[in-house]
Amino acid sequence: MGGGGIWAKYVNDFKARVIADGGTMESPSCAKSDVKFLVQNPEPVAFTGLLNDYSGAAAAYSLRLLDNTYTGNAIKVRRASDNAEQDIAFSNNELDTATLETFASGTDAFVTTWYDQSGNGNDATQTTAVTQPKIVSSGSTILENGKAAIEFDVDWLTTSYPLPSVFSAFNVVKTDFANSFETIIGSELTFNDWIWHLFRPSSFRLRPKDSAYYSGATLNAQKYLINSIYNGDLNAYIDGNSYISQSSVALPSPSGNLQIGTTQSNVSYSLNGILQEIIFYNSDQSSNRTGIETNINDFYSIY
Amino acid sequence: MAYYTSTTKADLEAYNTLVTTGEGYNGTTTNWATIVEHPNGLDFAILKHDSYTAELTEEETLGAEWFPQNEIE
């Protein structure tokens, strides 16, 4: 069928719909132009991010766009060749890896800032070169299951996000359990003033204070979606399944800011693995938990 | 990763400045490495940069005693 035949069919179909709706169509040639325009210029499907659907995050770090009103960058990186730094934005709602790799120009690049997309300005930074996590290796973006990932190798980032007393935290993380203790999120100031999220081979732990901790079944060296919710009771979920459930957990008054990949800047407790997304709420998100998990899993294909 | 060690923290701070200046860090990055303090409070160490040498004691690695783990389990 030629092009004219296709448009004639579209117009006839359109005319049939107009008549079925009780209207009239006096000018088929005019309708043809209008129908052709509409077909060739469809209204784009509006992007909706996780934070559009589940608002109110206190801090949100990701290598995908989480909010369609966020106009900032994803990360700032330092390239190894000359230590120049550059912001990297999003392209098609994901990290602009083309610009990133052009900037890296065949060398490594390291994350100096992971920007907070929540609108609260709680950016995560690392000012020390040797403890900046890597995002580009020999010119190629580090990928995990086809998605950009930040590689931590005794590296960490410190946020300006004050530790909350009630929270919900969602992490997309992978470790190979190379170190004895591997922190996902911890406290900037002390070992004992907040609930750590850490791996202790071969399980995940939540550690509220002193030597007390809660853990669950053995894990594998693979990517997981881990989230915890603390509202007086403490619950953790891995890949949508309950992993830790503990009632009436006392939590010392939190102080200082949150760190990603370590606690108290301690190399002995630093993450050796990858992170792709961390989102915090200063609230109990139990009612939204499955929806947030689904959103994350739909994008990262974790389980 | 090799380290320089010293009982004089200022020597390692000077090395950190040497590398930081030489590398021309700008923007968010402000220094090369963090000085590690031994739990004995007497010894200090800093990661060695391959391109910068100094008249300091070089160690191939730091033993576990430099990084005590507070958690018992």
Q: What percent of chain A has pLDDT over 70?
A: 97
pLDDT of A91 over the 90 cut: yes
pLDDT in the model for residue A254: 80
Task: Find the mean pLDDT for residues A278-295.
Answer: 98
3-state secondary structure of A241: strand
Strand partners, A221: none
Q: Least CB-CB distance to A128: which of B34, B67, B70?
A: B34
pLDDT of A241 over the 60 cut: yes
pLDDT in the model for residue A295: 98
> Phi, psi (5° rounding) for residue A180?
-65, -40
How many angstroms separate the CA atoms of A227 and A238, rounded? 7
Task: Find the mean pLDDT for residues B10-37.
Answer: 96
pLDDT in the model for residue A211: 74
**Residue in A closest to B67 by C-alpha:** A268
**Nearest alpha carbon to residue A236 among A187, A269, A199:** A199
Entry pTM = 0.88
Q: Least CB-CB distance to A191: which of B27, B32, B70?
A: B70
pLDDT in the model for residue A266: 85
Give which of A75, A83, A107 to mutate to test B binding, by max B Cβ within 10 Å.
Answer: A83
Query: Residues of A at the B interface (Cβ-Cβ below 8 Å)?
Result: 76, 78, 82-85, 112-113, 125-132, 180-181, 191, 200, 207, 211, 213, 265-269
Those residues whose C-beta lies under 8 Å from the C-beta of residue A128, and which sit 6 or more positions away, are B29, B30, B31, B32, B33, B34
Give A1's pLDDT tier (boundaries 50, 70, 90).
very low
* Residues of A in Cβ contact (< 8 Å) with B23: 83, 129
**Residue in B closest to A196 by C-alpha:** B71
* Residues of A in Cβ contact (< 8 Å) with B47: 130
pLDDT in the model for residue B67: 83
Q: How many CB atoms lie within 10 A of CB A193?
A: 20
pLDDT of A9 over the 90 cut: no
pLDDT in the model for residue A196: 81
Average pLDDT of the residues of chain A: 91
Least confident of A29-43, A111-125, A155-169: A29-43
pLDDT in the model for residue A169: 96
Angle of the A28-40 helix axis to the A3-20 helix axis, nearest 10: 110
* Residues of B in Cβ contact (< 8 Å) with A130: 32-34, 47
Task: Find the mean pLDDT for residues A206-213.
Answer: 83
How far does A296 lie from chain B, in Å, by closest CA? 30
pLDDT in the model for residue A98: 98
Task: Find the mean pLDDT for residues A81-95.
Answer: 97
**Residue in B closest to A125 by C-alpha:** B28
pLDDT of A6 over the 90 cut: no
Q: Least CB-CB distance to B69: which of A128, A180, A265?
A: A180
pLDDT in the model for residue B71: 56
Top-confidence residue, A247 or A7: A247
Which tens digits make up the pLDDT trace of A19-63? 888 887 777 777 777 777 877 887 777 899 999 999 999 999 999
Task: Find the mean pLDDT for residues A120-136.
Answer: 98
**Which helix or strand (DSSP H or E) is residue A40 part of?**
helix A28-40
How many angstroms separate the CA atoms of A163 and A112, rounded? 21
Q: Strand B44-47 relative to strand B3-6: parallel, antiparallel, unpaired?
A: antiparallel
How many angstroms separate the CA atoms of A196 and A226, rounded? 13
pLDDT in the model for residue A88: 98
Top-confidence residue, A10 or A268: A268
Decide if A129 and B25 are in contact by the 8 Å CB cutoff: yes
Decide if A85 and B67 are in contact by the 8 Å CB cutoff: no
Give the CA diameter of chain A: 81
> Phi, psi (5° rounding) for residue A263?
-135, 135
Strand partners, A237: A227, A242
Decide if B28 and A85 are in contact by the 8 Å CB cutoff: yes
Identify whether the C-beta of residue A53 lies closer than 8 Å to the C-beta of residue A67. no
Q: Hunting for tokens 């990763």 — which residue is that?
A: B1
pLDDT of A179 over the 90 cut: no
Supply A274's token pair: 């990858």
pLDDT in the model for residue A222: 93
The CA-based angle A159-A244-A193, given to 5 degrees, is 40
**Which helix or strand (DSSP H or E) is residue A79 part of?**
strand A75-79
Identify whether the C-beta of residue B21 lies closer than 8 Å to the C-beta of residue B73. no
Give A260's pLDDT tier (boundaries 50, 70, 90).
very high
Identify whether the C-beta of residue A215 lies closer than 8 Å to the C-beta of residue A257. no
Q: Least CB-CB distance to A130: which of B27, B33, B70?
A: B33
Q: Hunting for tokens 């939204």 — which residue is that?
A: A288
Identity of the highest mean pLDDT range in A28-42, A196-210, B16-30: B16-30
Identify whether the C-beta of residue A57 lies closer than 8 Å to the C-beta of residue A283. no
A232 conformational bin, left if phi > 0, alpha if psi -120 to 50, beta if neither: left
pLDDT in the model for residue A2: 45
Give A147's pLDDT tier (boundaries 50, 70, 90).
very high
